[in-house]
């Protein structure tokens, strides 16, 4: 890497860092809903109160983010909301550097690498989510490391595979659906190598590393709740409220609004859960009842199997919600109403222009992913296909499969943005190649 490239990376990273810091300093956003819960658990962990919330044992949501954030709190000696936002800025800045190395390995043309890098630096989502105390920034940091390792390091290296397994385990603690990601990596290398013996040798150290994280997590939760819970126990409820005959939009809804049979109510009551037409009470019941998740999951699976057409329709609605509703999430989660209300008339006009810009970028990236999938529909099963393209498309397919089954909202496109940017770069490079012929 020459001095000119190092200078370019440094300038973009520093400017991006300054913009992010200016945003969190000038946007006094307090955490709400799940973000508030995760922050409060991190504070309790840093204060020596363990995995607790409001005085009771907590495990409803994934605990990776509050656990790692609590370590940062201990290092800096404060549990302030601003410190948590600074933690996000540090992670997102490191992630941006990793993005450059991913793009540099992916693309032949330096112009494409640089354009994708700048896009990731100025993308509104990547700036605004630094103020949101959720799993987004940390999960992308970890995923980008895993992708980068697969781009640069030989998969035959057992130490590399063990480290990747450990990172996937940590990533799973942050977002539990990544527990299935080792299967994605194994499948990608199966498509590339077409050699079962090779895949077995590849899989063993990867799984060993992964289980180094998962086994302690399972033991922790069993000691805490007396149940087999790999990470959290909100999966059953989430599956239930997103897969039922009352859900017509593919988004979150309160569980008490779902028409339920007496049999289902009785099974919930048997584990100490009573359905109540009150959102606040429902939330508390879910937070404090680890046994209800299994009952919810059984009911959701039963509905899916008996309503396949409705399930498929909801699945496509969810994907549409994630990838083709623009960037409304950054306004919804990244700004308080009081902040928006203080805008002048000119400020409101500028903010609408900004949101239109953000919407356009998300649509552009999503369409790029769809086009790349269509033109590579055969190649993704072929040995000759570049491993980097295989990994990009199959990782995106993994996200789509997850969102097809569970909830769909624009916030969930965040961990996919750099992968969709790779797809945009692939199309741009093909266009430049064709023009040079």
Looking at the chain, the whole-number percentage of residues with pLDDT higher than 90 is 64
Residue 292 or residue 277, greater confidence: 292
pLDDT at 329 over 80: yes
Tell me, what's the pLDDT at 338?
Answer: 65
In this prediction, residues 84-94 reach a mean pLDDT of 96
385 to 143, 257, 388, 392, 434: CA distances (angstroms): 22, 48, 9, 12, 20
In this prediction, residues 238-253 reach a mean pLDDT of 90
Tell me, what's the pLDDT at 435?
Answer: 66
pLDDT at 349 over 70: yes
d(CA 411, CA 399): 13
pLDDT at 348 over 90: no
Poorest-confidence range of 227-231, 250-254, 271-275, 308-312?
A: 271-275
The model scores a pTM over 0.85: yes
3-class secondary-structure state, position 52: strand
Tell me, what's the pLDDT at 340?
Answer: 73
Give tens-digit pLDDT for 357-372: 999 999 999 999 999 9
Tell me, what's the pLDDT at 260?
Answer: 82
Distance, CA of 112 to chain centre: 25
In this prediction, residues 309-331 reach a mean pLDDT of 93
Structure tokens at 72: 């940062």
d(CA 357, CA 292): 43
Tell me, what's the pLDDT at 342?
Answer: 75
Are 278 and 256 spatial neighbours (Cβ–Cβ below 8 Å)?
yes
- State the angle between helix axes of 181-193 and 196-225 in degrees (0 to 180), rounded to the nearest 10: 180
Tell me, what's the pLDDT at 209?
Answer: 96
Give tens-digit pLDDT for 179-201: 999 999 999 988 888 888 888 88
d(CA 107, CA 76): 39
Looking at the chain, the whole-number percentage of residues with pLDDT higher than 70 is 99
d(CA 73, CA 83): 7
pLDDT at 314 over 90: yes
Partners of 52 in the β-ladder: 57
d(CA 265, CA 200): 45
Structure confidence at residue 437 as a pLDDT band (50, 70, 90): low
Tell me, what's the pLDDT at 130?
Answer: 95
Tell me, what's the pLDDT at 332?
Answer: 87
Average predicted confidence (pLDDT) for the chain: 91
Tell me, what's the pLDDT at 28?
Answer: 84
pLDDT at 240 over 70: yes
pLDDT at 136 over 90: yes
Structure tokens at 371: 């086009």
């Amino acid at each position: 890497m020459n001095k000119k490239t190092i200078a370019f990376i440094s300038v973009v990273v520093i400017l991006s860092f300054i913009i992010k810091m200016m945003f969190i300093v000038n946007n006094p956003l307090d955490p709400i809903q799940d973000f508030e819960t995760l922050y409060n658990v991190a504070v309790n962990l840093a204060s020596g109160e363990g995995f607790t919330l409001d005085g009771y044992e907590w495990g409803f949501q994934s605990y990776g983010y509050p656990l790692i954030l609590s370590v940062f709190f201990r290092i800096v000696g404060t549990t302030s909301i601003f410190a948590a936002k600074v933690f996000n800025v540090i992670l997102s800045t490191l992630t941006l550097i990793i993005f450059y190395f991913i793009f540099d390995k992916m693309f032949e043309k330096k112009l494409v690498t640089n354009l994708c890098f700048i896009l990731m630096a100025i993308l509104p989502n990547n700036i605004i989510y630094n103020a949101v105390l959720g799993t987004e920034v940390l999960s992308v940091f970890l995923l980008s490391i895993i992708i980068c390792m697969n781009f640069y390091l030989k998969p035959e290296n057992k130490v590399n595979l063990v480290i990747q397994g450990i990172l996937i385990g940590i990533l799973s603690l942050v977002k539990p659906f990544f527990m299935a990601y080792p299967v994605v990596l194994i499948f990608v290398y199966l498509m590339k190598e077409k050699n079962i013996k090779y895949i077995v040798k590849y899989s063993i150290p990867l799984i060993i590393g992964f289980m180094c994280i998962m086994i302690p997590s399972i033991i922790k939760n069993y000691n805490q709740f007396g149940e087999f819970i790999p990470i959290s126990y909100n999966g059953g409820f989430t599956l239930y409220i997103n897969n039922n005959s009352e859900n017509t939009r593919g988004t979150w809804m309160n569980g008490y609004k779902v028409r339920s049979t007496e049999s289902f109510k009785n099974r919930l009551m048997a584990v100490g859960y009573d359905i109540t037409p009150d959102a606040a009470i429902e939330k508390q019941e879910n937070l404090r009842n680890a046994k209800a998740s299994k009952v919810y999951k059984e009911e959701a699976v039963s509905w899916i199997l008996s309503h396949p057409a409705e399930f498929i329709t909801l699945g496509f609605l969810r994907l549409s919600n994630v990838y083709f509703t623009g960037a409304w999430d950054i306004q919804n989660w990244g700004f308080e109403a009081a902040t928006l209300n203080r805008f002048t008339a000119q400020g409101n006009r500028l903010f609408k222009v900004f949101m239109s810009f953000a919407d356009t970028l998300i649509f552009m990236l999503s369409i790029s992913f769809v086009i790349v999938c269509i033109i590579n529909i055969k190649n993704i099963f072929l040995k000759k296909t570049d491993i980097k393209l295989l990994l990009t498309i199959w990782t995106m397919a993994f996200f789509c499969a997850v969102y097809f089954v569970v909830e769909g909202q624009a916030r969930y496109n965040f961990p996919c943005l750099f992968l969709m940017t790779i797809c945009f770069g692939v199309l741009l490079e093909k266009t430049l190649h064709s023009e040079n012929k």
